[in-house]
Chains A and B, each alone.
Chain A
């Protein structure tokens, strides 16, 4: 039985639609979604996957069918039909991408706004600030008296104007992340945050460009020497996730990673109190210690590949010139 073309086209259309709708939701390519922002991005991505699957099946399908159906028969040296164009068709296939990209642009805009990308406090560019090398240290810092609006992803529209509940100063340097909790002066080599609360990272870089990336939060922001940038988000699911440097920052860029630990609010308080207590007893971590720990970690990771710990230590002069206080004290110091 031979079906008329219109029916086969219809069936093919329905199949393509069903497959794309299903695959768009079930590709399973995204890692766990652990922040308020992540499902927004995932929904957007699922929609893009749906459209992409449909377009792929249609266009690739047409090519594959053409390869089988329209290949030259042996001995047939005549030409195909001299079709040079079809205004109707051309209008349709100009209109289809126009509509698709309009829908995607508007949807992306909505998601970006909802994530806080257009928060005026975070999305204006105050221009570069002069970083200075503080005498006796290799610590670059922003000169005082400059506008400190940061770039990056700010508060969601509902939160705009409110301060975040948890603020963390993040310093990126070859090859470590240092987190300081300015309200308490606690310093850490890992990022601890409470679930369900608004968190703001104030990100600076000491030497070269780095980038904070937390795949499970779907968020990323460059740390740029001479500029403040920020990332504001709400972690939702407790657990431990990687925090990765995503911008080439030197030979050990691949090793520049640490963890984000999302606690329940109670656990978070406990953690914070224990850190404060340790600090008061004088055995809280200092930046220099974190750097030293990090060097040990790098050294451990690199011992198989013939690189001496001295070579790694020499990568940055941090520990020697480093004031023995915390990062936050240094921030205030400047």
Chain B
């Protein structure tokens, strides 16, 4: 199994085509949409995590790119520095996916990288520079 985090840019003419649907059905890829911004008649942008066999992944992405979808690896990544975090919990009410998570029993804060969609909402919230976006 291979897993990739990608940014898919859809040219206007492709927006109403079921590209992701075909990636799922034809290539047996698991497509997890992390973020989407789609405006009719403009470029659309999907941030996805795609999982599947290496073979299917390669051919599926080739299929999409042949259609005109621009594919780039997700270059941004969020880093959480445990030693800088004071566990104030401020970010946990903002994080939309629960990547920054609070165990209420202990009031401890943790970060689950796999759940992070790099939305950046936590950055201005943390007073201690414990979360950073890396490019």
Q: Do A and B come from one complex?
A: no
Residues of chain A touching chain B, judged by Cβ–Cβ distance below 8 Å, are none
Footprint of A on B, CB under 8 Å? none
